[in-house]
Amino acid sequence: MEPTGQRVQRMFSSIAHRYDLLNHLLSLGIDRSWRRKAVAGLPAVRSGFYLDVATGAADVALEISRRLPEAGRIVGIDFSFPMLRRGKEKVARSGRGNFIRLLYGDALHLPFADSVFDGITIAFGLRNLTDPLRGVQEMARVLKPGGRLAILEFATPSRSWLRSLYLFYFLRLLPWVGGCISGNPQAYRYLPESVLHFPEREALGGLFKEAGLEYVTYRNLTGGIAVLYSGSKPGDQQ
31 labelled as ligand-binding? no
pLDDT category at 2 given cuts 50, 70, 90 is very low
Considering the chain, what percentage of its residues have pLDDT values greater than 90? 46
In a domain, 182, yes or no: no
Q: Report the chain's mean pLDDT, rounded to a whole number.
A: 83
Q: How many domains does the chain have?
A: 1
In a domain, 13, yes or no: yes
44 labelled as ligand-binding? no
Question: What average pLDDT does this structure show over 11-22?
Answer: 56
Selection from 15-24, 50-59, 153-162 with the highest mean pLDDT: 50-59
Say if residues 88 and 64 touch (Cβ distance below 8 Å): no
In a domain, 172, yes or no: no
In a domain, 136, yes or no: yes
Query: Containing domain of residue 118, as a range?
Result: 5-157+199-232
**Of 58-72, 135-149, 164-178, minimum mean pLDDT range:** 164-178
pLDDT category at 13 given cuts 50, 70, 90 is low
Cα of first residue to Cα of last residue in the chain, in angstroms, is: 41
Mind giving me the DSSP string for 18-63?
GHHHHHHHHTTTHHHHHHHHHHHTS---TT-EEEEET-TTTHHHHH
**Of 2-16, 45-59, 110-124, 160-174, minimum mean pLDDT range:** 2-16
The rounded Cα 81 to chain-centroid distance in angstroms is 17
In a domain, 178, yes or no: no
Q: By C-alpha distance, which of 8, 10, 226 is closest to 129?
A: 8
* In the predicted structure, residue 182 carries a pLDDT above the cut 70: no
pLDDT category at 105 given cuts 50, 70, 90 is very high
In a domain, 192, yes or no: no
In a domain, 31, yes or no: yes
Say if residues 228 and 150 touch (Cβ distance below 8 Å): yes
* In the predicted structure, residue 230 carries a pLDDT above the cut 90: yes
b/e string for 66-78 if b means 16 or more Cβ within 10 A? eebeebebbbbbb
- What length does the chain have? 238
**Of 20-29, 30-39, 67-76, 224-233, minimum mean pLDDT range:** 20-29
Q: What is the pLDDT of residue 115?
A: 97
In a domain, 188, yes or no: no
52 labelled as ligand-binding? no
Find the CATH number of the domain harbouring 119.
3.40.50.150
On whether the pTM is more than 0.75, the answer is yes
**Of 7-16, 71-80, 210-219, minimum mean pLDDT range:** 7-16
* In the predicted structure, residue 140 carries a pLDDT above the cut 50: yes
